[in-house]
Structure 1
Amino acid sequence: MDQLTFRQTKVFKTIVDEFIRTAEPVGSKTLLTLLDFNCSSATLRNEMAALEEMGLLEKTHTSSGRIPSSKGYRYYVDNLMEKQLDQKVVNALQTVFDARNMSIDEVVRQSCDILSQMTNLTSVVLGPESRYQTLQHISLIPINERSAVAIFITNHGHTENKTFQFEDNISMSDITTCCNILNENLCGIALNEVVEKMKEIEPLLAGKVKRHEILFEAFVNAFVRFASDQVYLSGQKNMLYQPEFADIEKLKQLMSMLENSSLWRQIGYGNEEMAIRIGTDNRELMNIDDVSVISSKFKINKDEEGQLMVVGPTRMPYNQVVALMEYMSQQIEKMFNNE
């Protein structure tokens, strides 16, 4: 693509910034009021036509104005974006990240909520993968004769609570015996190997626990969930307020995509610390063109890492979102690496 002239750069950046702000196509009359130099409407229309020919702008069916294309957003992000992080945001986040006693799980969940609240978009946070964690301890707390809460703890402080509802009465003695056997045989086992190990010790449970099959099935189901990839979502409802997803079918498609945890792991693969996938960049994994995904990695230790992600329309404030995610990733790393 030819290098943009100074005037084309100003026109293009102004159109992108204004469309991000309003979600309305930008015409020459609007541009005249926004640009900090004088020129005629005809000159602006010519520049907009040139930018459209370069593939950076598109016409809409309902207006004579222009909107950025996926290629245009990419050019904007790579060449014109100026990251902005508001000091008020920094101050608000600092109070959260100063709480040094939080577990990885708590940090991941809080980060997910903070991202969605501060961007008014949807956030996805990938916690560390289970193959790097081992089971440290299981506690089982009876609620009554037909229910109990199990608490699983890993060597990295990740916890998961699971409430069991049993169809038949289970004695306190059986629950205690089962829990003791699991702790004796599963401590130090990698989370993604726990289910296989449980199958090996099932005969031991059968010999010591009367209703072992009920407890065995409950624990296996709990470990399958616990050992699965930790993918947290927040702010899905924010997509309801984005005009790009006013079409109910497109919204359903997006919501289905958001619930696909394996998709987010696929999107998260790669070596970049910060990745910005815009519109058609996502076509290989998604069927929706006007969605952007920004991801930022954070390291918990030398073996483990997670990722912050923000999902929204291609018309998102990249300068603010990227700056926020970079800052949050740095703060998470400081929490766990004692920098």
Structure 2
Amino acid sequence: MLDERKLAVLRAIVEDYVATREPVGSKTLVDRHQLGVSPATVRNDMAVLEEQGFIAQPHTSAGRVPTDKGYRLFVDRLASVRRLSIPERRAIESFLDGAVDVEDVVQRSVRLLSQLTHQVALVQYPTLTRSTVRHVELVPMDRSRVLVVLITSSGRVDQRIVELPGDPGDHLIGELRGKLIAAAVGQRLPDASATVADLITTFRPEEQPLVTAVVATMTRAFSDERSDERVAVGGAANLARFGTDFDTSIKPVLEALEEHVVLLKLLGEATSPSMLTVRIGAEVPYEELSATSVVATAYGSTDEPLATLGVVGPTRMDYPGTMAAVRAVARYVGQTLSD
């Protein structure tokens, strides 16, 4: 365990190194930070930190830089994630307020997050298996076709035209609409699929072929998992600013970020909007990304998380600022989709 003074020294080293990318010496720390001790005492504290693996000396006669272990302790000892300023929060809100649909929300969010953090932003599309049915509508188009409209809690609107084996008539359309709403609204999509299938036998035999055509289309919409596998990526060019932060080349990092399986794995540990997940260096589950850190969280309500978002950047990251931006964007994305 480190005492508060050594923790203050470590915090100062992390902050200075993130800001300057220059190894930090004891005299610099005393000059820049109100540590209340002499350079000799700081040197002793730095020696302890180095011995315990929290900082390292990149070469002889240089200052010290944080290790992955040092960044980990720094993040773990943050008293709280700082709040964004009022102008920053207003900018996020106004930027997302103009979105017209789920696709637009995701694309705006990934651009916004990459601009706020200057990192690579990842935003998973709302996961259907976590969504619930908000509304179902049947709109007759002519005597043998009906438009099925599904609206989910994630804000997704799915419209499908059903070719019917006959004229359903207004009465049957109205009865089916009412039963679909009663059976499906508020249900998670996988559960709703089974519930609406049970409705077929509640209709008269001569009506069942028409009802089956509509129900089959509804269940296909409920089980369409394409969006579960989609991740929007933005700001990859930001990594060019940090080229020297990577041991050899940023090419393996960029190649890894092109694999959606990798992206889903990076975001997969974030399961609750109330908690941020931070993985640093070797904690990231891919060797190609061992020089990076990942900050992620879920978005949506605490009871109903819809998907995840986050950023990937070098371990020399502004963790307090990045964590604040990720948390704030996730909160506004959840609110926007809910509205």
Return the TM-score normalized by structure 1. Answer: 0.69
After TM superposition, give the deviation of residue 259 of structure 1 in Å.
Answer: 0.8
Contact 2:102 2:156 in 1 (8 A): yes
Identical pairs, percent: 27
Shift of 1:278: 0.8
How far residue 40 of structure 1 moved from its aligned partner, in angstroms, is 3.5
Residue pairs, 1:296-335, within 5 angstroms: 296-299=297-300, 305-335=306-336
Contact 2:68 2:282 in 1 (8 A): yes
Q: Is the 8 A contact 1:292 1:312 kept in 2?
A: yes
Q: 1:16 to 1:111 in 2, by over 3 A?
A: same
Name the CA distance, whole Å, in 2 between partners of 1:334 and 1:155: 16
Q: CA deviation at 1:260?
A: 1.1
CA contact (8 A) 1:25 1:63 kept: no
Q: Cα distance, 1:337 vs. partner? A: 3.1
Of residues 55, 58, 69, the one that matches 1:57 is: 55
Aligned in 2, Cα 1:41/1:293: closer, same or farther, shift over 3 Å? Answer: same
Query: Secondary structure at 1:8's aligned position in 2?
Result: helix
**Contact 1:239-1:245 at 8 Å conserved across structures:** no
Structure 1 residues 94 and 158: CA distance shift in structure 2, 3 A: same
* SS of residue matched to 1:233: strand
Q: Distance in 2 between matches of 1:118 and 1:227?
A: 25
2:63 and 2:150 mapped to 1: Cα distance?
56
Task: Specify whether residues 229 and 192 from structure 1 end up closer, same or farther in structure 2 by C-alpha distance, changes over 3 A only.
Answer: farther
Tell me the equivalent position of 2:282. 280
Change in Cα spacing, 1:36 to 1:302, as seen in structure 2 (3 Å) is closer
Whether the 8 Å contact between 1:122 and 1:236 is mirrored in structure 2 is yes
Gapped regions of structure 2 (runs ≥ 5) = 138-148, 165-212
CA distance in 1: counterparts of 2:59 and 2:259, whole angstroms? 33
Q: Distance in 1 between matches of 2:245 and 2:20?
A: 15
Residue equivalent to 1:163? none
1:297 CA displacement: 0.6
Whole-Å separation in 2 of the counterparts to 1:36 and 1:132: 49
1:258 Cα offset (Å): 0.8
The question of whether the paired residues in 2 share the 8 Å contact of 1:192 and 1:227 is answered with no
Change in 2 beyond 3 A, CA 1:228/1:297 = closer
CA contact (8 A) 1:191 1:227 kept: no
- Alpha carbon RMSD of aligned pairs, Å? 3.3
Equivalent-residue separation in structure 2 for 1:130 and 1:320 (angstroms): 31
For the structure 1 residues 63 and 317, does the alpha-carbon distance in structure 2 shift closer, same or farther, using more than 3 Å as the test?
farther
* 2:30 maps to 1:32: yes
What residue in structure 2 maps to residue 188 of structure 1? 218
> Could you list the per-position Cα deviations for residues 164-198 of structure 1 after superposition, in whole angstroms to 9, with x for gaps in the alignment?
xxxxxxxxxxxxxxx8769x78732436966xxxx
Paired residues in the alignment total 270
Aligned ranges for residues 66-77 of structure 1 at < 5 Å? 66-77=64-75
The amino acid that maps onto 2:72 is R
Letter in 1 for 2:314: P
Equivalent residue of 2:289, what SS?
Answer: coil
Task: Indicate conservation of the 8 Å contact 1:130/1:191, yes or no.
Answer: no
3-state SS of the aligned residue for 1:109?
A: helix
Q: Which string of whole-angstrom CA distances, capped at 9 and with x for unpartnered residues, describes residues 26-85 of structure 1?
A: 112211211214544332222111111121111113761111111111111111355332
Equivalent residues in 2 for 1:23-172, closer than 5 Å: 23-61=21-59, 64-80=62-78, 83-84=81-82, 85-99=84-98, 102-131=100-129, 155-156=151-152, 158=156
- 2:126 aligned partner, one-letter code: P
Structure 2 counterpart of 1:292, one-letter code: S
In the alignment, what sits opposite 2:182? none
Structure 1 residues 190, 8: closer, same or farther in 2, change over 3 A? same
Unpaired runs of 5+ residues, structure 1, are 138-152, 161-178, 195-223
Q: Secondary structure of 1:125's match? A: strand
Contact 1:298–1:329 (CA under 8 A) maintained in structure 2: yes
**Per-residue CA shift, 1:230-277, capped at 9, x if unaligned?**
200000000001144566x53110001111111122222234531011
Q: Which moved more, 1:53-62 or 1:125-134?
A: 125-134
Cα pair 1:132 1:190 within 8 Å, conserved: no
For 1:305, the aligned partner's letter is: L
